[in-house]
Amino acid sequence: MGDIQALRGTRDILPDEVGYWQQVEATAQQILTRAVYQEIRTPIFERTELFERGIGEATDVVGKEMYTFSDRATPPRSVTLRPEGTAGVVRTFIERSLYAQGGVQRLWYTGPMFRYENPQAGRQRQFHQLGVEVIGSADPRADAEVIAIATDILQSLGLKNLHLTLNSVGNLEDRQHYRQALVDYLTPYQDQLDPDSQERLSRNPLRILDSKDKRTQEIAQNAPSILDYLGSYSRQHFEKVQQLLSNLEINYQLNPRLVRGLDYYTHTAFEIQSDDLGAQATVCGGGRYDGLVAQLSGPDTPAVGWAIGLERLILLLQLQKLPVSLLDFYVVSRGEAAEAQALILAQKLRHSGFSVELDLSGSGFKKQFARAERSRAIACLIIGDEEAASQTVKLKWMASKEQQAIAAVDLLAMTDDLHQQINTFRATQ
């Protein structure tokens, strides 16, 4: 058998990187749980039609990027690996009648998504998103809440240099007015637009505004602003969202070119971008989709949500800092009696709630110490012949290099103290 390599656009997450993922997942879960968002897990593949109707056939995602194949049923069905999470969550909401419980559903999900794209840093074919959907509220406070939660997650991870950009795409009626004004403005420049945008001019002109083509962007710069076409409900909704964000001390910039072209997107649209990610700058994208549940044949229900791209988030974490070490003790031992005692001590410490790694190499102390350093443990426990004979252990704090000898029983009797000291060290990491 020849060498089999991972498919282009997929990546292995190796043990030396997985700490970042666990940290992100734990932080997000804590923040979401405090806000009483509930996790939902939907299948990774669905009928292709769900995405065609739920994302829109005119989008790049559906038009160019989906992993679609026929299964083995007779006649075969067309199925698709999910390219995003919202469509599946909304299908579940409708199919399992989650609306029957009344009130607002606050949901979150995480997992792999699949898009056939040109792979580069921060853009893969299998990638991961963490997302929230708040279904059943049209209130601007729901928009502000989801934005605040996204901001909280990113800030709690210690990320800096992030910018929130905000817009409103109004409702369907506002957009019909705006669409006409936009087409009137763009038509004289038709020949200068990139080929995709030329085609969109009649089908989906709003999407020309987020073209990545330089010349098209220059032209779009002076296009009429959608904010001038909002009706009074839309204007009030958007003003309220801005007011609430200011109350929460969340900074934002308005960008009238931040749009989503499809009919079921309404009102708030937003993105959180980083200065440090080059071309793949958007870490989080979201907004309101009051028309989607009805579009998928559910009861007319307003909703708002976002999705964070976890690969991009983790690239940022890797640029900015090391993950917090999860290891409390690294245990070094040498000599038969010492090794036997070290194994027992490690087990006892684990029972008391510590994370403990036992060096199994049997090599000299120097090599074991070097591995203790690399392990990023908070403290090292050392047992040699002398310690084994006297039932003691040397406790060495890795940061300060302070070292003390202590009876093994005493060490196990002071676990509360140890937990506290370890937490203090970790907080200053």
Give the residues lining the site for ligand ATP (CB under 6 A). Answer: 84, 115, 117, 122-124, 127, 129, 280, 282-285, 307, 309, 311-312
Taking the C-alpha atoms of residue 327 and residue 422, their distance in angstroms, rounded to an integer, is 10
C-alpha 243, offset from chain centre? 26
CB of 311 vs ligand ATP, minimal distance in Å: 5
Taking the C-alpha atoms of residue 226 and residue 228, their distance in angstroms, rounded to an integer, is 5
CB of 282 vs ligand ATP, minimal distance in Å: 4
Question: In this structure, what are the phi and psi dihedrals at residue 410, rounded to the nearest 5 degrees?
Answer: -65, -40
Which stretches of 329-397 are DSSP H helices? 336-351, 365-375, 385-390
Taking the C-alpha atoms of residue 68 and residue 330, their distance in angstroms, rounded to an integer, is 48
Specify the residue, 93 or 270, whose C-beta has the smaller distance to ligand ATP: 270
Specify the residue, 85 or 392, whose C-beta has the smaller distance to ligand ATP: 85
Specify the residue, 272 or 342, whose C-beta has the smaller distance to ligand ATP: 272
CB of 320 closer than 8 Å to CB of 158: yes
3-state secondary structure of 429: coil
Specify the residue, 24 or 283, whose C-beta has the smaller distance to ligand ATP: 283
Q: Closest-CB residue for ligand ATP? A: 309
Report the length, in residues, of the chain.
Answer: 429
Taking the C-alpha atoms of residue 169 and residue 227, their distance in angstroms, rounded to an integer, is 8
CB of 387 closer than 8 Å to CB of 339: no
3-state secondary structure of 291: coil
CB of 378 closer than 8 Å to CB of 328: yes
CB of 113 vs ligand ATP, minimal distance in Å: 7
In 3D space, the residue among 264, 306, 298 whose CA is nearest the CA of residue 93 turns out to be 298
CA dist 213 → 123, 193, 194, 208, 218 (Å): 18, 8, 7, 10, 9
3-state secondary structure of 48: helix
CB of 233 vs ligand ATP, minimal distance in Å: 25
CB of 40 vs ligand ATP, minimal distance in Å: 17
Taking the C-alpha atoms of residue 193 and residue 201, their distance in angstroms, rounded to an integer, is 9
Specify the residue, 122 or 136, whose C-beta has the smaller distance to ligand ATP: 122
CB of 281 vs ligand ATP, minimal distance in Å: 8
CB of 105 vs ligand ATP, minimal distance in Å: 20
Specify the residue, 23 or 129, whose C-beta has the smaller distance to ligand ATP: 129
CA dist 269 → 111, 148, 238, 256, 299 (Å): 23, 14, 10, 10, 23
Specify the residue, 11 or 394, whose C-beta has the smaller distance to ligand ATP: 11
Which stretches of 96-186 are DSSP H helices? 140-156, 172-186
Specify the residue, 119 or 335, whose C-beta has the smaller distance to ligand ATP: 119
Specify the residue, 316 or 377, whose C-beta has the smaller distance to ligand ATP: 316
Specify the residue, 114 or 238, whose C-beta has the smaller distance to ligand ATP: 114
CB of 116 vs ligand ATP, minimal distance in Å: 9
CB of 269 vs ligand ATP, minimal distance in Å: 10
CB of 323 vs ligand ATP, minimal distance in Å: 20
CB of 68 closer than 8 Å to CB of 79: yes
